[in-house]
Structure 1
């Protein structure tokens, strides 16, 4: 049995904005809860929609029970769009969003013409034939493609290829935005953060924390015992939503209950912006994560054993891994280009502003009204 490897690279270089979605609510929250709940890493970032796009590309090439399992996960009932989740996204010049997909195939394997045409039409994905047995050359080709798509932020995605590899489905995303309400770096200072390490141990550390007094949408979510705040990007509907547990040690309960929540409940448009004194830690980290266990737990099993992917190739294949690598950076940047057009908020006095101090492990979501581009957890900002 030959192995198919699905690999994702994700880059988020941001200044922040937030979210809700009604398009793929249940699927998205299931994936977010699955990834965050199945990892012991204190810091996590991944792209739910990039994962969904990869699964869709497998779905249109699957038959039998393999197709049924993917259909159940994606909740495709005839109304769920098979188009790439990113098609039709229009962003202003100061926001970069680049999504690319490519299927790397062993030279001795034939990919059906109909499948090649479908992934090109639906996902703008292309096929490239490589010699996986020549690991050095194949790895260079693949890593060069990823580096180009992520503006060199992810220069090396894979270490090597295996002679048994038959296909690698790669997806990459690069996102960069400017703050709508930029943070003043002169107000950034060391503040206490109740961190969580990979072993689940808590300790208090000092981290660079940004500060901003302004008008923000924020509300309480009782089901999560948490509060949300939306921090928008300039000239776009894309935002970051911070989910902050009310309790210092409340992150596990928050993550556990995420699946029962629709994405559009994270931020309601009927919430009126209020005066808030926001303290948000700067953070930057990268993560490589294997998504196979989470997908198996969500019911996708045959794909990894004896997959029926006969609409892709006649060769007997199974999926060996579903791998995603992500980089995220959150800081004060973005003020230079956005300052002239975003200095519109009313000044807020300290004594009338509600505090929103992000000083403990939290969940973040980067989204617009329909799509969740990125999601993650920050347990240690350093």
Structure 2
């Protein structure tokens, strides 16, 4: 019997199931093409948690959030160490990768499930699948606003019938939308998926799928979209063309945004790195990390402990900052790094996804992400800090060489993460 293939594409995240033949399932999804097969989009809590106390739910959420944070830094370090990524920009959404893999774990069993849990940093002695489902339900319902949206969707071949329990868990816990498609008609199916992705990412990602394997059974997509407006915007009239030092031999010209004000700043002496916090108008903020001994040292040491130290050690200081405008789009295959993180069985014949269907495995994990940074923002609503200083000029913090960037919320959940080696790539 041929092993079915699950492709995970992350748009932050997308899982695809495929095989040489179709398996007999347990639920008739019908033949509705591009219409919802998961009809209830209610916000009710996941089943099986009725008897859980509020304290248990809160503890589970805190445990999952902490694991997600550790997973983000671990995944970044693995990506940064890859030979193919040397000298390249890296940008990804760890929260979306976690979301996709957690949704996939709903259908995993045995050692495949254990490896997914372990790779995601979930301690099985503290968390079961129901706890994880409930935690992600809580995280997703928190990220529903005009500026940010996150969720999942499944595109199922009309001849494939996944386990109904799997679909029900996605609907209840991961807010999944569902659609029937005919993967034998690859052009039409690709258009349906791309249209959905384009709508959910507000046009930022419009070509997730190009060539579809007609043997595909299912795509499980997770997406995260965020549009942040600076709490205090940059003045476009202050933007100027300046050099960005890619390395000792390479300079490129970039549009550099400039601003003098009071900022939340921390200097981490242990890794010789300046950390700048730029708030958005909502509860999110951007961290820009400028290492003075090169990115490699920062990448080797960055971890949740440093992250917490930066945020707790911020002080308001007057600075003149220079930040480049940039627009980057990344597309990376995650198979190798997930192997390194211990998630191996899901890619081969040893895969056990019997909670979805018999004889299916993951064939590919692909991530797409896009980041645009410019001067624009809503009218500043924060009080402007006016300070008196004996110095004629404030110190300057220039992001004119490779630096790291994070976007997180007030609960310190990391939405996006990456490094900018060359703003023009």
1:73-92 map, 5 Å: 73-77=119-123, 78-79=126-127, 81-82=132-133, 83-84=135-136, 86-89=139-142
SS at match of 2:189: helix
Q: Secondary structure at the match of 1:183?
A: coil
Deviation (angstroms), 1:8? 2.2
Residues 214, 347 of structure 1: 8 Å contact kept: no
1:288-307 correspondence runs (5 A)? 288-306=331-349, 307=351
Instruction: Kindly indicate whether the alpha-carbon contact (under 8 Å) linking 2:12 and 2:93 is maintained by their aligned counterparts in 1.
Output: yes
Distance 2:306 2:116 in 1: 21
- Is structure 2 residue 408 aligned with structure 1 residue 367? yes
Q: What aligned pairs does 1:1-382 form with structure 2 within 5 A after superposition?
A: 1-10=3-12, 22=66, 24-38=68-82, 39-40=85-86, 42-77=88-123, 78-79=126-127, 81-82=132-133, 83-84=135-136, 86-89=139-142, 96-195=147-246, 202-234=249-281, 236-247=282-293, 250-258=294-302, 260-262=303-305, 264-265=307-308, 267-306=310-349, 307-314=351-358, 316-334=359-377, 337-339=378-380, 341-346=381-386, 351-368=392-409, 369-382=411-424
Assess, with a 3 A threshold, how the Cα gap between structure 1 residues 91 and 129 changes in structure 2: closer, same or farther. closer
User: Which TM-score applies when normalising by structure 1?
Assistant: 0.87
Report the secondary structure of 2:353's partner residue.
coil
Normalising by structure 2, what TM-score?
Answer: 0.79
d(CA) in 2 for partners of 1:182, 1:157: 32
Unaligned runs of 5+ in 1: 12-20
Measure, in 2, the Cα distance between the counterparts of 1:89 and 1:308: 32
CA distance in 2, matches of 1:24, 1:101: 17
Deviation beyond 6 Å, 4+ runs, structure 1: none
Larger gyration radius, structure 1 or structure 2: 2
Structure 1 residues 266 and 348, CA gap change in structure 2 (3 angstroms): farther
CA offset at residue 22 of structure 1?
5.0
What is the deviation of 1:172? 1.9
Q: Structure 2: how far apart are the matches of 1:91 and 1:148?
A: 15
The SS at the match of 1:132 is coil
Post-superposition offset of 1:344: 1.9
**Gap runs ≥5 in structure 2:** 14-64
Report the CA distance between 1:193 and its aligned residue: 1.2
Deviation at 1:283, TM superposition (A): 0.6
Paired residues of 2:291 and 2:403 also in contact (CA < 8 A): yes
How far off is 1:343 after superposition?
A: 5.0
2-structure distance, mates of 1:26, 1:166: 32
Instruction: Determine the C-alpha separation between the residues in 1 that align with 2:67 and 2:314.
Output: 20
Aligned equivalents of 1:361 and 1:180: distance in 2? Answer: 25
CA distance in 2, matches of 1:36, 1:308: 30
Provide the aligned length of Structure 1 versus Structure 2.
Answer: 359
Q: Any idea what the Cα deviations from partners look like across 1:51-103, whole Å, max 9, x if unmatched?
A: 0000101112111111111111122223474332732426775xx10113112
Whole-Å Cα distance in 2 between the matches of residues 230 and 271 of structure 1? 8
Cα 1:89–1:345 change in 2 (3 A) is farther
Pair 263,117 (structure 1): closer, same or farther in 2 beyond 3 Å: farther
**Distance in structure 1 (CA, Å) of the matches to 2:369 and 2:164:** 32
For residues 136-190 of structure 1, what are the alpha-carbon distances to aligned partners after superposition, in whole Å with 9 as ceiling and x for unaligned? 1111111111011111221111111102322211122221111111101111111
Question: What secondary structure sits across from 1:45 in the alignment?
Answer: strand
What is the CA-CA distance between 1:113 and the residue it aligns to? 0.8
Instruction: String of CA shifts for 1:2-50, please: whole Å, max 9, x gaps.
Output: 2111122249xxxxxxxxx856332221122222332235212110000
Q: Using CA pairs under 8 Å that are at least 6 residues apart, name the structure with larger relative contact order, 1 or 2.
A: 1
